[in-house]
Structure 1
């Protein structure tokens, strides 16, 4: 049996690239879309088939890490090329189909024993399952990492401290201010005001749809933190409907500088842009 397993493994190694190309033929037979077979994909497929061949006559502890590494690398590439996870997992079955079609043909031609076939199955199928698991884990981890980076970029853009003069800047806020975003506003505004040496910061609320007690509390925390740095803060863009909501909720902005219109305030300071 060992000799037959070694012989079968060597045949898989010899035909690894034929098997890699065969995958597209089988996909087409199943009505699946077939992309152009690049050298990178051909090598990637061929490597996996070669690992299957080696697994039939090498120790499991020696070959298993190769399958896991292959699965991780493929998962990372799938995220990089924005390949959907469901389609990627679906395509793994074609490796199984192609490999077992090849083994069936070799069994018929070479008259391998039943014990050899059963042993091959006990090696190949668990390793393929292990590869799919490693692929899935790597895909999810890398996809979450990419989404995290995108979220960080979006969050950074959502708190833009824009310098108007050497010491004056504006922070235009758009959208709802929840606890997470208020923390981001505080961290970013403190950092940017320190970096830019801002002495007067306008926080413009024109794009904030609602001000409730939680939003007001979060704004107070931001303003008080900036005051500790010596930054004067002025709230602008307080629309009539926002003002009515603030009054009805009994929220007090006592002690906080408020300007109804950002442009008028900047014009009064002599720094508003003149009309063309």
Structure 2
């Protein structure tokens, strides 16, 4: 609770809020410079930086973490833009760095102790991780939902390949994998990985309720074929029910790289902080 934190910590929070424009400018400059170097879209507005910095400052001032996504800016109109998610994650990382740079300068002229700085870190890190998780999961959910209404109307839409960086893409799989669909997924992922120079493909199975023997065999075939092409495969969205069902069939999931969700996969790739 806030009573556990000293007055200097509260004063730091107030100082951050008073100088949030300066912190926002520094974070935005750093993020846009990095985006230009990596040919990523500069689509993250100033209001995004301002809201995140304000939330972090308010958290430090209050001395406790409050998780709320109600006031977070959304990116619904641009959710299919290549590199959007990576730009958002880079912006959050730049905000964190700009904030710690400010805290470092502030601590030189204040009486913040080492233990107080550690306490501040314990307030900031969980909130930053929550933002990273929110935007990664929200991005995939929006993209998947936008495709569901058109699902199966064309082969391309039934197997979407969504690039989130120059070499990383996501393939959300919705519904059952029959013989035809398994071959289609294999063909599409191989073709798109080669054409788009994808080095890591995240297969998200959160849209699959059950995996039977045939579906699992198709999945292993897809993974093996892509890995022979040099594409790293990470499987996400495997529910406990699906995992239990696969094990009951006598199939071994240990051969697959499995992460619980998209955030965990991006942490594995070093695209967001752990």
Classify the TM-score, shorter chain: 0.3 to 0.5
Q: Which has the higher helix share?
A: 1
> What TM-score, normalized by structure 2, do the two folds share?
0.47
TM-score in terms of structure 1 length: 0.47
Q: Which has the higher contact order (CA 8 A, sep 6+)?
A: 2
Q: Select the structure of larger CA radius of gyration.
A: 1
